[in-house]
């Protein structure tokens, strides 16, 4: 796992100096504390050669002795910098050796170089792994950028006149002093809805994220972006349930085995939930030594899963490490703002930060259970999808439940996830189409009337802009499938890469920890996408087929335990330890968020929350995060 950065320019007036490259590379030192490397090629107008600058920071995982980057082929016509892991590199290397390719290292990065020589941009279909990469092809005079299928590794770029800059993290582009930090209002509108800025948008105008499953070619001063991976989400498997279970077992076992390759200590995050517990059980089955597992616990019982993790660790006989922490938003917020280069307000990044920090004290690589909920319909919100679909088919009932009088008599409830609040949100959205209904259930600021929170200046920047398109376009990929399949597969290409993978990558790499996600093996993803929703979700419970497949591995109460999620007590924090900071930052006359959000609306949110009339904790966290981000980066 590493950090990459660089630039290409076709006019010497747009040159990135060696000093600038050094600054860009140094800003990624947390991603790769073990080594640093550069490749620099001056622009030569006479030979029509662009200027090239590659910077690399290395976290050594595979081939500790000879895996340095940038790395090149035999005649130095192809140069690569690469962040990630290619899990099938040994198989690919054997095939390339048989065809006469020569290798100097045992690294997966050199395999990519020779795979590119053989296949060009078609190489991506052969890679099983997580990656963001840049390849300079000196013969074709072109730069290739590529990102893995599910966005496990980030890649930003900024296309300017006669120049392109790129990097693993936004802070590296900023370190060049060549990128303007002008807020993109449309990206900010997305942030208030989703709690993240989705690809290809970036919080800054002129900067973009390369979307998952895409590559880009920069040639003759222009960047062309192409999609190389998109499974057919409308296709369903014809296999029987027993055959499906057998295939899941085969694919997940192989995925775990591949992800155990490491020349440094390796462990696993263990929450005691279904996904992480299955993975640890399979790791224990295939590992050559006792698996190390890591969990954190909280003093607040409703957020503490440590007892489940302890039970699973005991059952599987792992070497378990547990830390009880009292997460402090006041203490951790500056670090989060510094490392999450864009506004990011998923509060589960706080416990993720702590568990990554704790785990890195013992190992360099950790396995994580991300992706299981999207692949096997595990989120509790899919219950609402299922219920809404059933109500849609009973017209008189739907008419009754959507009467305004019903909404008026229901109390709001003072808990964010309380029964009455959920019921009210559910009923309020029933008259929407399923995709917009789902958006209303997951949004932070209400999609339908969010503009009432925005300043006039902000609103004027949003003409003809609809942030719902990010969700509706994803749902269209599974247009012929059931509502639960549309929602879960939609989450697979939106929420997973933009929220979960961003959260895990930044929190882990901030502590120089590599995270591997076996559920995101593209072979398993492509197969699981074809499984009918009825086999995943039944009678209000998800992951049915997954639980049946691995039922013998874990105690019965682990399979039946309620899903908790990785949460923190935001509601009480804003009334206690965060109260003073929240008022000082959000209501200050110098608050930068007032350019975007009406101050009087913020006052209403605070008053209603502090008096327990409403739980606005998620919206307040979104605002506090944004204000701190603006103060730090703008």
**Active-site residue numbers?**
2
Tell me which H or E stretch contains 276.
helix 274-286
d(CA 84, CA 65): 17
Q: DSSP readout, 481-501?
A: S-HHHHHHHHHHHTHIIIIIH
CB distance 203 to 182 below 8 Å = no
Q: What are phi and psi of 341, to 5 degrees?
A: -65, -20
Q: Closest Cα to residue 546, out of 387, 366, 369, 389? A: 369
CB distance 21 to 181 below 8 Å = no
CB distance 147 to 210 below 8 Å = yes
The pair of structure tokens assigned to 176 is 């060049």
How many separate helices (H) and strands (E) can be counted in the chain? 29, 17
CB distance 269 to 366 below 8 Å = yes
d(CA 151, CA 397): 41
Q: Closest Cα to residue 597, out of 622, 634, 633, 632? A: 622
| SS3 assignment, position 135 | strand
Sequence-ordered alpha helix ranges (H) in 288-362: 306-316, 329-339, 349-360
Residue reference for tokens 């590199």: 89
Q: Closest Cα to residue 388, out of 342, 428, 335, 426? A: 426
d(CA 155, CA 153): 7
Q: Which residues make Cβ contacts (< 8 Å) with residue 437, sequence separation at least 6? A: 388, 429, 430
């Amino acid at each position: 796992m590493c950090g990459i950065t660089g630039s290409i320019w076709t006019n010497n007036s747009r040159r990135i100096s060696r000093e600038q490259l050094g600054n860009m590379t140094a800003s990624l030192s947390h991603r790769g504390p073990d080594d640093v490397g550069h490749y620099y090629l001056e622009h030569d107008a006479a030979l029509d050669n662009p200027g090239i600058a590659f910077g690399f920071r290395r976290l050594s995982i595979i081939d500790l002795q000879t895996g340095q980057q940038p790395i090149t082929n035999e005649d130095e016509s192809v140069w690569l910098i690469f962040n990630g892991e290619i899990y099938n590199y040994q198989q690919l290397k054997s095939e390339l050796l048989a065809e006469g390719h020569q290798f100097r290292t045992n690294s997966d990065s050199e395999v990519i170089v020779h795979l590119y020589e053989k296949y060009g941009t078609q190489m991506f279909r052969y890679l099983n792994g997580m990656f963001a990469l840049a390849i300079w092809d000196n013969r074709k005079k072109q730069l290739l950028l590529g990102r893995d299928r599910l966005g496990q590794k980030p890649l930003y770029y900024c296309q300017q006149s006669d120049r392109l800059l790129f990097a693993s993290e936004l802070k590296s582009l900023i370190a060049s002093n060549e990128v303007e930090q002008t807020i993109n209002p449309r990206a900010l509108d997305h942030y208030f809805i989703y709690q993240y800025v989705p690809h290809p948008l970036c919080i800054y105008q002129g900067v973009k994220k390369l979307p998952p499953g895409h590559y880009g070619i920069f040639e003759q001063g222009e960047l062309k972006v192409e999609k190389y991976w998109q499974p057919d989400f409308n296709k369903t498997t014809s296999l029987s349930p027993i055959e499906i279970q057998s295939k899941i077992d085969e694919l997940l076992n192989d995925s775990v085995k591949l992800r155990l390759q490491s020349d440094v200590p390796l462990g696993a995050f263990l929450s005691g939930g279904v996904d992480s517990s299955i993975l640890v059980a399979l790791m224990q089955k295939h590992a050559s030594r006792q698996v190390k597992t890591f969990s954190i616990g909280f003093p607040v019982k409703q957020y503490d899963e440590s007892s489940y993790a302890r039970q699973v660790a005991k059952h599987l006989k792992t070497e378990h490490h547990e830390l009880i922490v009292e997460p402090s938003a006041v203490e951790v917020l500056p670090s989060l703002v510094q490392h999450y280069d864009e506004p990011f307000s998923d509060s589960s990044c706080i416990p993720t930060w702590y568990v990554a920090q704790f785990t890195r004290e013992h190992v360099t690589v950790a396995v994580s259970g991300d992706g299981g909920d999207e692949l096997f319909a595990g989120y509790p919100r899919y219950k609402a999808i299922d219920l809404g679909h059933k109500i849609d088919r009973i017209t008189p009932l739907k008419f009754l439940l959507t009467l305004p009088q019903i909404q008026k008599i229901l109390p709001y409830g003072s808990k964010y996830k309380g029964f009455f609040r959920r019921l009210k949100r559910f009923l309020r959205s029933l008259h929407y189409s399923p995709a917009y209904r789902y958006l209303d259930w997951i949004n932070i600021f209400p999609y339908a009337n969010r503009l009432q929170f925005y300043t006039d200046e902000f609103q004027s920047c949003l003409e003809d802009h609809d942030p719902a398109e990010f969700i509706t376009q994803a749902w269209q990929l599974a247009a012929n499938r059931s509502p639960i399949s549309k929602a879960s597969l939609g989450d697979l290409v939106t929420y997973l890469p933009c929220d979960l993978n961003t959260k895990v990558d930044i929190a882990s790499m901030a502590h120089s920890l590599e995270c591997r996600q076996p559920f995101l093996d593209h072979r398993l993803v492509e197969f699981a996408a074809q499984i009918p929703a009825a086999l995943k979700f039944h009678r209000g419970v998800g992951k049915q087929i997954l639980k049946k497949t691995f039922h013998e591995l874990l105690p019965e109460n682990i399979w039946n335990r309620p899903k908790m999620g990785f949460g923190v007590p935001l509601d009480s924090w804003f009334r206690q330890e965060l109260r003073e900071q929240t008022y000082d930052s959000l209501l200050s006359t110098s608050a930068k968020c007032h350019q975007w959000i009406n101050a009087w609306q913020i006052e209403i949110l605070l008053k209603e929350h502090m008096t327990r009339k409403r739980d606005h904790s998620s919206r307040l966290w979104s605002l506090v995060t944004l204000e701190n981000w603006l103060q730090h980066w703008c």
